[in-house]
Copies of this chain bind each other. A is one copy, B any other.
């Protein structure tokens, strides 16, 4: 067993590098995050992570039995937009404004995440047993989005559409656009996270609103929701234990 988490262990063989980061596990996560942001997951090697964290390649495996487990540790607060959707799902405000707020928050989240959504999805798909929470979160976000859309169509704010399909299009747009923020294609202009988020929500709402003249009003109403909603969640999850007990299989 290892120290629960960052509990700077006083025991153990000293590092060859001499460095003594306050917590090996969190050090690895921090350095890995920086590298993932800079180069992407697949292009980052365990050797680089180890070097930046001040240990040897094989030592990283004491804290994370597999490379994907580092990613998993990063996942913890992914799709935080889910909490926004949950909070707004039953709110009394206009459905259109709530939808705008959810889509905007989702796109912001996708842009701010250390990892490209698609790269994440690829890894998750190859390790379903470890990333089940990811897919659960996604399908719940989709369900809640569809539900808000349904409320909108029923109240007449939104034009009649299949809520499920419309939710897929709305989320898919956000995912497609985050890429243009993250990796601007040569020859095309680059977008900021905020431009992308507004573009995503604007486009979807312009497509769904029964009365498109209402868009500016919806937009500012959503901004109000966002402000009210920003109760700092502060999800400082406690990580624990090294070498994830090997689970069952591969």
Contact = CB atoms under 8 A, between A and B. Distances in A.
A142 B188 contact: yes
**Contact-size category for A:** 35 or more
A5 B138 CA distance: 47
A165 interface: yes
A203 interface: yes
Which of A42, A118, A164, A200 counts the most B-chain CB atoms under 10 A from its CB? A118
Interface residues of chain A: helix, strand, loop or mixed (majority) = helix
B168 A138 contact: no
B168 A188 contact: yes
B199 A203 contact: no
A208 B202 CA distance: 11
Given A169-B199, A199-B169, A207-B204, A179 B185 contact: no
A172 interface: yes
Interface in A150-179: 159, 164-166, 168-169, 171-177, 179
A204 B203 CA distance: 8
B42 A185 contact: no
A10 B208 CA distance: 63
Interface of A: 40, 42-43, 118, 121-122, 125-126, 128, 135-136, 138-139, 142, 159, 164-166, 168-169, 171-177, 179-180, 183, 185-189, 191, 195, 199-200, 203-204, 206-208, 212
